[in-house]
Amino acid sequence: MCGIVGLLGRFEHKETLLAASCSKIAHRGPDSRGFWEDADSPVAFGHVRLAIQDLSEQGHQPMASADQRFMLVFNGEIYNHPQLREALEQDGYAHAWRGHSDTETILAGLMVWGIEETLKRMVGMFAIAVWDREARSLVLARDRFGEKPLYYGYTPAGFMFASELKALMSLPGFNTQLNRDAIALFLRHNYIPAPYSIFTQVRKLLPGTWVTLSLDQIEQADWPEPQTYWSALDVARTQPRRRVERDDEAVDELDKVLRQAIRGQLLSDVPLGAFLSGGIDSSLIASLTREETAGSLRTFSIGFTEPEYNEAEYAAQVARHLGTDHTELYVSAQDSLDLIPSLPRMYDEPFADSSQIPTALVMRMARQEVTVALSGDAGDELFGGYSRYQRVRQWWRKREKVPAGLTTPLRVGARLAGSLLSGPRAEKFGKLEQVLGADDMVAFYRQFVSYWQDPASVVKGASEPPTAFAQPPLDSLLDTMMALDTASYLPDDILVKVDRAAMAVSLETRVPLLDHRVYEFAWSLDEKYKVRGSESKWLLKQLLYRHVPREMLDRPKKGFSVPMGQWLRGPLREWGEQLLAMSRLQEQNLLDADRVHAIWMQHQSGAADHSPRLWGILMLQAWLDEYGIKP
């Protein structure tokens, strides 16, 4: 696990610039730094290394291929690289291996198979930059689900890329012009979806894609068109359904494919553990990991002093049953509040999933014991686990029963009722109006996952660009929701939250459920193996019950959340009032000051809980202050 950065073009003193950039992301790679500049082309790479595989100098980056054609910087892990080495040797790779790093394996793949075939063969998480000396071109590539970040863009001097935005922001000529359209998307989702970024001259590479840039393109500041080597949405639409004779057969197949993923992700030359929340996903990953490891497994959970948010006691029960070496940390509200000032720098862009707070705290705890930790993320997206899926399906069934001729008058009535009421009742009528106005399943679901229904009217001078929600619906509402979340919420919220919080303390996280073979298996199954009746994640649970007693797990999930609504009326109120002061908002001329002030006051009165929307705006304001950016 590492951090990468690179420059192509008329940048002066590239080594000095890259040294400064690497210092900004040193937390991603505290073990060593590397620099390379091409003698024949205006290209230079920087690298900071968190050594996981091949801790020797043989794993040092930037790294050249055996034939010296390719120079590579790479952030991530390739879990199947031992098997790839065998395949490469069978396909004629005759060079002696210098070490056992996956970086060297990627370079050999480029020599034998080329970029697209190498990407398709790799199982792992990665962000890659490779300079092809022969073609005099740069290739950037990102893993299938977007576990590892990759930003790229232009300054007047040329092209730049990095693992985190902060590595680029100090470059001379960096344009800090805000992307107001992206801010509108941020108010809708509380994250900025790829390919957009907070800045107009920077983009994020989409998951499952690569781009190629020639020196001529860079000279013309041309934005390359991403090419797709794998698409989660395409798999969701086209994966053939398998015939399953018995339920046990499906459970056995899940066990097989998930163990295969976990065995690959145990590849490490440093201490490894697993997160254990006591829920279905993390308990399953911990159970199978414990069986696949020869010795004891370290597990980690976080607890809260507030009983309504605490699940640590359940995690401890599971840990005792599995026999893991378990560590738990109980945090107070003050521990969480003390972390908030560091969030804007940790996340680079405005980011407002409030579970980022407990996530950062559990990462900090785990890093004291291990360098690598497996997580149970992605079970909800693959097996229909989010509670909102059930609510949305119920609303959709009601929506389908409304005769076409009554839709418009009912919407008008709902709007009128909402305008005459306040608080929760007004919100219910507002939701009804939105439900009646949805044209298809995609638009319908988008309303349920939006914090602002009309964010472009809140951000001055903004219009919303297209996102994954521009896709047509799938065959069912559940499939549509899971696919959309995999294409947007998962890479741009969940994986961003985990990556930045973990790498802030130099911890590598791995997600076995995001092995693409697990994903493809999940999409080969009928819907009944994901949601059966009112029970979500049905198949995951059946496999877990083989390892953990059902009574330890069958309980309502509390989620990984914090009492943000209470905090904004209490210990965070003064902080919030400073950031949302009417004079400040008016001077910025970025947001509709009257609307923002209105929801702040309504929240303070207790008439409604606007904390999710307010948290987004507060994180935007805190980010602007952190980096000294004026809208």
Domain assignment present for residue 557? The answer is no
pLDDT digits (tens, 9 = 90+) for 274-294: 999 989 999 999 999 999 997
- Is the separation of the CB atoms in 62 and 72 below 8 Å? yes
Q: Residue 405 pLDDT more than 90?
A: no
Strand ranges in 469-557 using DSSP code E only, listed in sequence order: 508-510, 531-532, 535-536
pTM here is 0.95
Give CA–CA dist 521/537, Å, rounded.
14
Strand order in the sheet with 151-155: 32-37, 43-49, 2-9, 158-162, 151-155, 202-204
Of the pLDDT bands very low, low, confident and very high (cuts 50, 70, 90), residue 382 is: very high
State which residues form the domain around 512.
234-385+479-552
Q: Of 362, 346, 356, 383, which is closest to residue 274 (Cα–Cα)?
A: 362
Question: Which H/E stretch holds residue 131?
Answer: strand 124-132
pLDDT digits (tens, 9 = 90+) for 574-625: 999 999 999 999 999 999 999 999 999 999 999 889 999 999 999 999 999 9
* CA distance from start to end of the chain: 34
Give CA–CA dist 564/612, Å, rounded.
8
Range with the poorest average pLDDT among 262-271, 402-411, 526-535, 612-621 = 402-411
Q: Cα 376–381–383 angle (5° rounding)?
A: 85
Q: With pLDDT > 70 as the criterion, what percentage of the chain qualifies?
A: 97
For residues 583 and 545, state if they share a domain: no
Residue 324 backbone phi and psi in degrees, to 5? -90, 160
Give the domain-ending residue among 427, 443, 476: 476
For residues 509 and 524, state if they share a domain: yes
Known binding residue 54? Answer is no
Of the pLDDT bands very low, low, confident and very high (cuts 50, 70, 90), residue 172 is: very high
Q: Of 630, 629, 595, 625, which is closest to residue 613 (Cα–Cα)?
A: 595
Of the pLDDT bands very low, low, confident and very high (cuts 50, 70, 90), residue 203 is: very high
Q: Residue 559 pLDDT more than 70?
A: no
Per-residue pLDDT averaged across 327-332, rounded?
A: 89
**Which CATH number characterizes residue 199's domain?**
3.60.20.10
Give the domain-ending residue among 529, 552, 575: 552
Per-residue pLDDT averaged across 419-446, rounded?
A: 77
Domain assignment present for residue 558? The answer is no
Q: Of 541, 565, 568, which is closest to residue 555 (Cα–Cα)?
A: 541
Give the domain-ending residue among 410, 444, 476: 476
Q: Residue 403 pLDDT more than 90?
A: no
Partners of residue 591 on adjacent β-strands: 459
Known binding residue 335? Answer is no
- Is the separation of the CB atoms in 65 and 110 below 8 Å? yes
Cite the active site residues: 2
Q: Residue 306 pLDDT more than 80?
A: no
Domain assignment present for residue 216? The answer is yes
Q: Tokens 């018995």 label which residue?
A: 246
For residues 349 and 489, state if they share a domain: yes
For residues 335 and 302, state if they share a domain: yes
Q: How many domains does the chain have?
A: 4
For residues 355 and 488, state if they share a domain: yes
For residues 152 and 38, state if they share a domain: yes
For residues 6 and 71, state if they share a domain: yes
User: What's the full length of the chain, in residues?
Assistant: 631
Known binding residue 554? Answer is no
Known binding residue 379? Answer is no
- Is the separation of the CB atoms in 289 and 550 below 8 Å? no
Instruction: Give Cα 246 to chain centroid, integer Å.
Output: 35
Give CA–CA dist 584/618, Å, rounded.
12
Query: What pLDDT score does 558 carry?
Result: 62
For residues 546 and 517, state if they share a domain: yes
Per-residue pLDDT averaged across 376-402, rounded?
A: 92
Burial (CB count within 10 angstroms: exposed 0-12, middle 13-18, buried 19+), residue 630: exposed
Partners of residue 2 on adjacent β-strands: 49
Of the pLDDT bands very low, low, confident and very high (cuts 50, 70, 90), residue 406 is: confident
Q: Cα 319–323–327 angle (5° rounding)?
A: 50
Query: What pLDDT score does 424 carry?
Result: 65
